[in-house]
Structure formats: structure tokens, C-alpha cells
Structure 1
């Protein structure tokens, strides 16, 4: 039976909400918050169907989900700014999935987009019994020239003879009348689709009270009817009254249940609850630091203070230096106090709404994140959701540690491996030069202090680089465990081979399956490849000639607008694009391929045999090591899978032999 559900909420900074996180949660996409350089991602079992719909006068960049909501966050300056509107709507189960999608798009276009809003639509079907869609809407309008307009305008008016300034909304999107109109239109659209598909069910936006639902009056029974009932005979009048009484009882019970449900919803709405003293302290913190106090901003400010302190500690002693250090110390104490308040409130929240949750197993970050998501979504998280939140935070922490290096993973790993190797050579050369033999303590005593310090430095440096390499390996493991949860042999891949699988997943937007190895997928057509190479070549030339950031290049903007999914600053993604182009180089043409190779600074080789698939077991993919003839990327994946299978088989064989030996020892 078709049901009516149409809820409306405002996403705002006042409620400590963030549109990047909200859009990532609803769309299932990985989005970067450009203010903090943090990745927002919430893994979903069923990938949502997403669309961005916009009026004709909106700029082209609104179709890039990441840029759209980053622009909103950038434009809104107020601490309590309304960032976006979200509508949550139930789809009728009676119609097909294709028609559900068509219905959602048609409704959003006619009701929201034609009224000037940009609509970010996400259809969720994780529960087949509850198909629904979320649509995030811009609150600030666009002008006809594609620039942001004003939400309000200030006008002067006379009140009791005095001139007062009044703020008027430039649109009617925030009015109750408009909301009622949207609710009414949704019922009309759904009923139209139900009717054209032959269903008799209808939905309405009206409440029970507006619809006039009430109990039925009984009729007069009379003496004769009661006497018939007393003598064991059936009376139609008494039967009618009994039926009506049962109906009325059901209606009353339903009304009471509805009232109780509303009461529970009112009392159990998830909100942050601070004590009066805590509120006062947070207000004072916000005033002193001149920032909106939340956990994210506290961490950002702490990092800024650490960097500031490290810079001025090396300055000569002076009154100015001591003043700055004193200010840093004071701000650090204030931030610690605010952080303590947020953690205390989070613990209270979890005690109330998650009484069975073992808080001791969660870090401070994880507890606060669980609270933030609960308040943002206004619903309790299940055990699996909490595990996902904790896992994502652990992954995010690793990504923070590697921060700016993530967009160039292969080069970073290769550089680490090379530097570790070079440090090993330098260490051995210095040891031999100093005549040190670690088996003979006297040789160490005879070495100079300078040489010993240098050896110690090289050892420490190697240790730190190995830790960085291990962090990168953990990051790959997190990616692969999400991609292939049931493939245990993934643990036998080398760090270089793991990168290949992650590269492919980022590029194609899906996990590579055995079918893809037989029938290799293709992301861009020949014409698209040619056009992208042309854009990249222009960006490359302008950057070389004028030595400026490619973001300042007009071709960069054209590229972003035409191909918003192309990850221009992800070296692995561009590497995959190179591989795909080389696979079709005969169709693309030599001139265009020459441009491609110049962009990637490829060193040509005479023979393709110079780089064989097996050689990549020890070499991270690097543009300067690619043959100009290219190679079959998917043969590399096959080779990696075979190697992992071989290692797994050898390990299994060895384990079985050890088990047999232990068993024989026990038998004896």
C-alpha cells in the first residue's frame, strides 16, 4: 500500500552540520571538504542513484557535487548560517524502479529546479520495503548571470514614526505556504503515477484532522431490538451498533497511538545538551578565539598553534617572543577545556541513547563522531553503523598522517623504498670507512663521535621511513578489505600490487572482478580520450611556460566542467587514463599519443620486453618507467593474482607440514 512521507529539515552550522558530509552520506560518494582537506565517505551496501538538477542560469560547476557544496560552505560566512534544505520522501513501492526514478526527477525538476533551486538527488534502496529519496536543495538563489544572489535584502520602513531596518527574504522558499504546496504537489505526482499504472490506491498530504476522520455515531436500538437480543435472536440494529463501537474503539486506539508516537518523537529528538556552565564556557571560548566551537575547528586550531610555536621557539629571546608563547599556552588551555566539554557531553549523550555501548572501546574522536552523526541524522545508529564510523575514522587518521601525499601514492612509495635502500648503502659505506665491526666492541669505541652520530641518524631515519611505508600499506589494506572482503589471498599481494587494484577501483568507480579481466572495461570513448588529452596538453604547456598553478588555467575550468569526474590531481587516476589510451593508441593517432607521452614525460623504449608484467612485482608504477608502447594493465592484475595464489598455496603447504610434524610429536 502506498504511504505518504515527506519530511523537511534545514542543514545549518548552528546545528554543527556540514553539507559535504551530508552530501557524501546521501550520495555514497567520496567527497573532499576543501576547508579541512578531509575526505567524507560513508560506505553503503547498495549504491544510491544520484542526479544533480539545476536551472538553466546556474553555472556549470554545480553539476560537480564536491565543488557545489564546497562553494556553499565557502559562501556562507555566518556561524549560524542555513546551508541547505533537505527533503526526505518515500517512493511508492507499487511502481517499477525505473518509474520511481523518473517520478523523483520529474517532481524535483518541476517543483524545485523550475523555482530556481539546485537539487542534489539521491535515491536509496538498501531496504526494498522502504524505497525513498533525499534531495539537498540550495537555499541561496543564483542570479541570471550565474553568480550567487542574496538570501535577504534590507529595507527601511516607518514604525510608529520611527525608521527601522527590516530584512526581507528574496525568495519564498522558507515559508510554510511553500512547504504545504510542495507536500500537496508530491501527493499529486504520486497519484498520477499510480493511476497511469492501474493502481486504485491514492495518497494525500492532509492530516487525519484535515481529512475529517472521526468516530461513527450509534443508532437508536429501541425496546424491541433489545428484547430480541435478550431472547437469543439477532437484531440488525444492535449488530450495527456493535460494529460501530468496534470501529470507534479502533479509531480511538489509533489516535492514542499516534499521540503517543508524536509525544515520543518530541521527547526523543536527538539534540546536544550542555549544562548552563558549559554553554557559558563555550560562548567565552568562541568569543576569545573568534571561531565557531566544534571538534573539527578545535583540532584545526591546535595544529595551527603547534606550527606557530615550532616557528617562534627558534627565535632569539625577547619580550615579543614570550608574549606569543604565553598566548599560545593560553589558547591551548582554552582549547583543552572546550575539548573536555565536548567529550563530557558526548559521554552523557552516549549514556542516554546508547546505554549498551561500551564507551571504553571507543576513542574520543569516535565517540564525538557517533554523537555528531546521530544528531545530524536524528536517528540511532545500529552496531554495524557504529563499526563503520569507527573504521572510517581509523582510515581517516591514516590519511591525515599521509595528507598531501595521497594524491601521489605510487611516487611516494617508490621514493620511500629508494631512500631506504640509499640509506642502507650510506650506512654500510660509513661503517666500512670508520672501521666499525659490531661484533667487536673495541672497533665501536675507536670510531669518532661524529661518525657514530651519523650512523645513529641514518638508523633513525630508516626506522621512520619504514613506519611511513607501513602506514601506506595499512591504507592499502583498508581499501582492499572494503573492495574484496572475502578474498583472503589479498594479504599476499605486495604493496606495489595493492596499488594497482586501488588505482583500477578509483578509475572505473567499481571493484575489478574476474569478468573484467576477460572483458576489460573502458571508461572513455576514443573521442573523449582525444579531447581530454588536448585539454591536458594545453594545461601542461601553459603551466610550463608561465609557471603558474594549473587551477588558474582556463583549460582547467573547461576540463572540470566537461569531465567533472576526471581526477586531475590524482596521479594514479591519470596513470590509469594513460594505460587506457595506450591500449587504443592506433585508433587515437600518433600525434595525439605524442602529446600524451609528453604530458607524462615518458621515456621511450625500443622493445616492450624492457618492461614485463612480472617486473612490476618489485616496481611501483611510475610514468617515467612506462614503455612508449604501453602495456596491458589487466595482465598485470592477473599476474598479481597468480602470484598471490602461489604464495598462499606455499604458505598453506608449509602450515600443513608444520601441523603434521606437531601431530607426530604428540603421537610419540
Structure 2
């Protein structure tokens, strides 16, 4: 997901700074205004006439809709030499939106956020620079009473301090607080993102600073109209140069971050599946793909899907000129995408035809073709057959690593899918068998089945065999991990697949092996305060808010708890169990929020999690819990006892067999 530009600045227009609201309003609106106090005319000619609106609460007097009278009344009312006259907010509009959409967004935001709170908003939209659409809104600082008269900014309150009566001034509104400013900034991001999503754009903005979002890149600065004008005239601008330098630096940081992420995926997949053969890895991957757990989209296909979703929404909207403009634009961009894809493919094939005429291009995938071309260009040399084979192997290795990384994050879900699919296949097979009267004890009955049904039954048997092999591989994966965790515990071989997952996910969660002595006093990873914050963030990420809001809470969570593994289902299950152990301490409200998160089934988990441009995350079905609601550590303790019992029984039986064999050998002698 790309990030549109976020700019939201705030300033106070005050008499102390020798400022004047009539001059400020005239400059921003482009209107000729008379300052009644000095009889001066204020006018500033603008290249493009601003779009202006005055928005006011219902209880404000009618004269506020006259710009000249509004700000002259403000100047008359404020008597003090250092009076705060008005507040001005300057906001960058998303240039992805049309002019009409930008205007609608600005009006809706000002009405809902400022006017509903009691302020009069004098809005001016500037488009002098098409690359920098923005709006200014001047806001009244003094509130209006319900009868339309001016209210007080402050009230006097008497209070006793150290036995002495003192008079304290208290603001009648919270408009000057830092918390309110932060609320406005957050609301702008939410309103803008809602409009971007509604109109089919994947771009999003955030009110959070790079530091708050845990991002090391440097923020660019607001360039402004003058700097852009200087650039167009061929002059140098310090502000634009600063941004160019920062963009270059940020490009390096992003490339390093991507390399680090790829390295982490490689290390993790190697750690967990290094004992599997290439054939076994391929088996896992193909089985997962058949269950639609992993889907990989290229950038062009991702954008095409976005356009299709936007088009489907528009087709059901009311007919209008704007609707058909957007549909036409979608059609044009889709054609551009198709042309780009065709050009890339044709160019790559021509490249191979010229430099690799003996290569069997019809047998290659699109990814393989592109990779050969890019490797040849980047290395600036012809590749040998051995080099090409190496390129293909590396391409497959990277894809397998990505797919297995997703698999390792969704082990329980993957196993559950396999088990359910095996049951489904068995039902289909049995239905066909009964329908055709086939009895495998009597081979002659097989001829009763039609060729179509017989092929279908053979296909189902093969499918079941493949999925059982995948379950065996998952069981083997757990065995390898448990062998490392508990090298001296023979009972581990007697655990069920689900029980093995419990032990592995406990180790992943705590970062250390859970030993028998831990069961009497189980460890706690997160404090009560941590659990409160994490649960609330997960809850907000799961509400029906705009996707941008969900992503903001996701970023806040990962900023405070960078090691929290949102995309790891086992880790999330473990967090659920830990919270339930301390349910009384956490409180019913947060526990209800926690349960609501884990009761939600995944929607488009796979497709979105594999998208290169997506920041979405996996939601989880209910964690593993027995019907009696036992504590997680009680589950492990019971599993150990049961596994050890089975191991002792097998040992006893084996010893009994050995003694019997010895006696038999003695009798034979």
C-alpha cells in the first residue's frame, strides 16, 4: 500500500503577533474585505480563484455567513492587546481525488469535526499549484451561546489552595488543548482515507510521525507554492533540495529494510524446515496451494483487482456524469495495465529470442522469463545453461521460502484445513462408491461404475493420499522441533499432532523451552497493563472502522510491542491463553473484546496477506481449547502425563516381548 501526502498544520492568529483576521481572511478567500476599524481595503489577487464556504453551527447568528462581518465582529469583540483572534488550519488535499471529491471531503471534515463542536469555519480551497491542492480553514476561538450571542472563552473559578482562597481561570472549551489537536489530526487521516478507499485508491495517509510508526525514514518537508514556482523557473530551492536528499536517503533505508526482511524469512524457514528434502518442501507447498492458503499477486494484477472492485461498486451507484467519468477512467487505466503487461512480456520474449535462441521459452513461466532477462541485464553478461538453472533454482527457493514462512505462521489453520479436506474427500468417495454399488471386497463390482465416476474416485484417492502425506510432513516438522526442545523426553513421540503444536507454540511465545517445573508457576510474558493495551489495539483492528483506522492501531501496537507476532497464529493463540489465565485481573470488558477478536473468522486472509502492497494481517478462529475450558498449562501437563503413560505401556510390552523371546530361544536350545 502506498502512502499519500499528509500535511496538517495549526497556528493561532493573534493581536500579540500584530496579525489581523480581516487581512488573513482576504488573503485566503481572495475576496475584497474592508477592515471597519481602519477603513482599509484588504485584497490579494490570486492566479486561481479559491473555492470558499462558511460553515456554522445552528445556534450561530445569521451574520456569520458574511465573511466581512464575521471577522470584523471578532476584531470588535476581542479587546485585549494579546487576544487570540482565530485559529487557522492548513491541510494538504489528496491530489488523487477529483476537484469535486476534494471539495466534498474538506466540507464534510470541517462540518463534522469543527462545526459540530461549536466553531464557525471559514473554508478556502487553493489550487494555484495542481501538484499541491490544499485548504485553509479559519476557526472562531470564542464560542457562541445558544441564543446566538458571543460566549466566554474562560470562566473564573474559586478554589482553596493551602488554606487560601484563589481565583483560577478555566477554559470553557477544550479547543486549545494538545489532545484536541491530536484528535483533529487523527480525524483528518480517517476522513481522507475513507474518501480514498471509497473512490478506489489504495493510497493511505497517517497522522502518525515516522518515529511513532517505528519507521527510520526521514519525513519530507512541505515545499509550498513559492518553492515549486522557483523550480519551474529553473532556480534552486533549498526546500526542494532537502526533500530530494531525504528521498534518496529513504530509498536506501527502504532497500536495507527489505533485504533485512528477506534475510529473516530465509533464516526462519531454514531453522524450521532444514531437514526436509526439496521434494518434501514442494509437496507441502503444492498441498497448501490446492487449499488456497497462499496466493501471490504481481503489482499489475494487484492494481487490476483494485480497479475491478472499484468498478463493481460504481456500477451499483446512482447514474451521474461523475460516475461515467470514473468508469471511463477505470477502463483507460485497465487498458494501460494490459498494454504494460503485454509489452513487458513481448519485450522479454524478444530479448530471449535474440540472446537465448536455444532456450525453450514455451516451457517457461512468466516469472522465469522476467528473471532471466533481469539477471542478464543486471550482471551485464550472457548466462550459461548452468547460470540459468541457478536463476530458476534461486527463484523457486525464494518462492518456497515465502510460502513456507506463511505456512509456519499458520500451522494450526493449515493442519485443520487438511483434516477437514480429508474428511470431505472421504465423504465424496463414499457417495460415489454407494451410488455405483462398488464393493472393493468383490473386484468385479468395479465395472458397475461409469468411466467418469471411476476417474473421479481415482482422483479423490490420490488427493487424499497427497494430503495425508502433507499431514505426515507436518507431524515430522513438529517431531524435529520437539527433538530439539526435549532431547531426553521419550514421551514426546506419543503426543497427538495438536498436542505437539501446543509445546511448539509455547516455546515460540516465551522464547524458551517450557520445562515440567514451569507448570507449578507458569511464566507471564505480558503484564496486566500490556495485555489491556494489546487487547484494545487488536479489538480496534477488528472493528468495522475504515481499513486506515485498523492499520493505524496495528502500527501503534507494533510500535509499542515490536516483537508481537500478529501474523503468527500460534503466537496469537498463546496470547489468548495467557490472557484467559488472568481473566479476573484483566476485567470483563477487555476479555469480551478479546473473545470477539478470536471469534472472527478470516476474510480474504490468504489473498491479501500474499499481496506485495498490502498491510493487512491474519485474523484467527478460536484457539485450541478443550470443552471443559481447562487452563493452557493444564492441557500441557495432561498431555505429558498421557504421553508418558503410553510410553511406559509400550516399554513394558516391549520388555515382556523380549523376555518371551529369550525363553523361547532357551527352550529351542
Flag whether TM exceeds 0.5 (same fold). no
Name the structure, 1 or 2, with higher relative contact order (CA <8 Å, separation 6+). Answer: 2
TM-score w.r.t. the length of structure 1 is: 0.40
